[in-house]
Amino acid sequence: MLAGVGPFAIECGLIASRDPVTPVKIYMVNTGNVAVAHVPTPGGEVTYEGETSIAGVPGTSAAIRIDFLNTAGSVCGALLPTGYSIDELGEIEATLIDNGMPVVVLRAADLGKSGYESPAELDSDKKFKSRLEEIRLLAGERMGLGDVRLKVVPKMTLIARPRDGGDLTTRTFIPHKCHAAIGVLGAVTVGTACVLPGSAASGIVPATEGSVKQISVEHPSGQFSLEIEVDDITSDRLHIRRSSLIRTARALFRGDALVPASIWDGSSIHPPTAHSQATKHSVLY
């Protein structure tokens, strides 16, 4: 949805376009954070044509890079709510992390899983699901979220070595059902754990040089490509400059909705039109 907001804002005249890319700042009400969508606008016009493909979307379109700013600790108050890159939850090691979404990152093997099971296979294992929920409840307390029995956070993500060319494979529970993919901010947070020394991802995702880290997160229906820019990397500290991902969007339809003049005269958006003497119109995307 964020990828669609940028082109919409430009085509509606809410944002002045630039050439060749127009940045659109988007305030996310649910987290209170800001994302910046970089929309391709060659010649000052939005283009949807391109060669970028993303999992679950047929065809290819123009790439829209979305930067998430200052998302670290947006729900829990800190990137690492406990102050540690690894925590022991009973007999299980996990990374409790929040870079826009509270996530508990666990090695699948520690729970007796390969990490390559289908969502249906994982959901059918009642004993495993019960154990996972015990860990989630404990993690919720540790992360400062209180009693999370009726909450959708934290998300639980099992990780394992990649097998389809990515950097790691994931299985995410939101919160009790295994997702067929992975959420945007969930992917950002899991990717952040991958660049944190000493996290649950250590030994699965190799460390890389440079401040800009490119991470490809495999999930049951494809891959999620991320770019994370960091500094001040230590075992208990990681400063995130930006977290970015590549998405696509395209316009599906445009139409006219006719509204009686007795209800709305349309003067705040469009001048009167010739549809009828009793109606004005607005354009809906």
Residue-wise pLDDT tens digits, 107-163: 999 999 999 999 999 999 999 999 999 999 999 999 999 999 999 999 999 999 999
- pLDDT score recorded for residue 18: 97
For residue 235, what pLDDT band results from cuts at 50, 70 and 90? Answer: low
The C-alpha atoms of residue 72 and residue 127 are separated, in whole angstroms, by 33
Mean pLDDT of 3-23: 96
pLDDT score at 278:
40
pLDDT-based confidence at residue 30 (cuts at 50, 70, 90): confident
- Does residue 285 surpass a pLDDT of 50? no
Q: Which of 60-64, 91-95, 132-136, 205-209 has the lowest mean pLDDT?
A: 205-209
Top pLDDT among 231 and 268 is at 231
- pLDDT bucket at 269, cuts 50 / 70 / 90: low
- As to burial, measured by CB atoms within 10 angstroms (0-12 exposed, 13-18 middle, 19+ buried), residue 271 is exposed
Q: Mean pLDDT throughout 98-115? A: 97
pLDDT (tens digit, 9 = 90+) per residue, 196-226?
999 999 999 998 889 999 999 999 999 999 9
- At residue 268, what are phi and psi to the nearest 5 degrees? -75, -15
Mean pLDDT of 40-44: 98
pTM listed for this prediction: 0.82
Summarised one tens digit per residue, pLDDT across range 241-262 is 999 999 999 999 888 888 898 9
Looking at residue 245, its pLDDT comes to 93
Q: What is the CATH number of domain 87-237?
A: 3.10.310.10
For the chain, the structural domain boundaries read 2-69, 87-237, 255-284
Rg for the chain, CA atoms, rounded? 22
Supply the pLDDT for residue 216: 94
What is the SS3 assignment for the chain? CHHHHHHHHHHCCCCCCCCCEEEEEEEECCCCEEEEEEEECHHHCCCCCCCECCCCCCCCECCEEEEEECCECCCCCCCCCCCCCCEEECCEEEEEEEECCEEEEEEHHHHCCCCCCCHHHHHCCHHHHHHHHHHHHHHHHHCCCCCCCCCCCCEEEEEECCCCCCCEEEEEECCCCECCCCCHHHHHHHHHHHCCCCCCCCCCCCCCCCCEEEEEEEECCEEEEEEEEEEEEECCEEEEEEEEEEECCCCCCCEEEEEECCCCCCCCCCCCCCCECCEEEEEEC
**What pLDDT, on a 0 to 100 scale, did the predictor assign at position 56?**
81
Name which of 114, 118, 112 is nearest 92 in CA terms.
112
Lowest model confidence (mean pLDDT) among 179-183, 190-194, 267-271: 267-271
Does residue 3 register a pLDDT over 50?
yes
d(Cα 137, Cα 158) in Å, to the nearest integer? Answer: 16
| Amino acid (1-letter code) at residue 248 | T
